[in-house]
Amino acid sequence: MMMGILLCACKPSDAKLQKEVNDKLATAAPGVIAEVKGGVATLSGEVMDEAAKTTAEDAAKGVKGVKSVTNNVMVTPPAPPPPPVVINPDDLVRNSVDSSLKAAGITGVTATVANGEVTLTGSIPKADLKKVMQAANESKPKKVVNKLTLQ
């Protein structure tokens, strides 16, 4: 009878195992948590790659008293970086601005382009300013410099 009590007393409790596993996971695989029932550690959470998922499982298996590990960790890779801002070459920008101005029926405006920056010169009616600026910005320049004279 005494032997049975000693064996039972030596076996770590699920709560103690869960704390030990979670302490290990906090440094080995942040974002992963464990729940322990009957000596079985069930892992959940999200990691960036398969290596981190394996690291989490290995950390849990390394805790003395854990019989087995059920790895329910999800691998969610980081979102791709946003595409780079496209700045069109000078000739393309100038042609685009010129054709946009022509399409809008705007005359008297000269667009010069250097290093992706459009400089607008000329004299236009104030009512046309919004259309001119929109036409210039549609060409995706780095910047639009307004040197227009308004009538």
Residue 7 has pLDDT above 90, yes or no: no
Buried b (16+ CB within 10 A) or exposed e, 88-104: bebeebbebbbebbeee
Examine residue 5 and state whether it is found in any structural domain, yes or no.
no
pTM of the model: 0.49
Range of 40's domain?
Answer: 13-75
* pLDDT score of 1: 43
pLDDT tens-place string over residues 61-111: 999 999 999 999 999 877 788 877 666 688 888 888 899 888 888 888 888
How large is the average pLDDT for residues 45-52?
Answer: 92
* pLDDT score of 43: 96
Number of domains comprising the chain: 2
**Residue 65 and residue 97 in one domain:** no
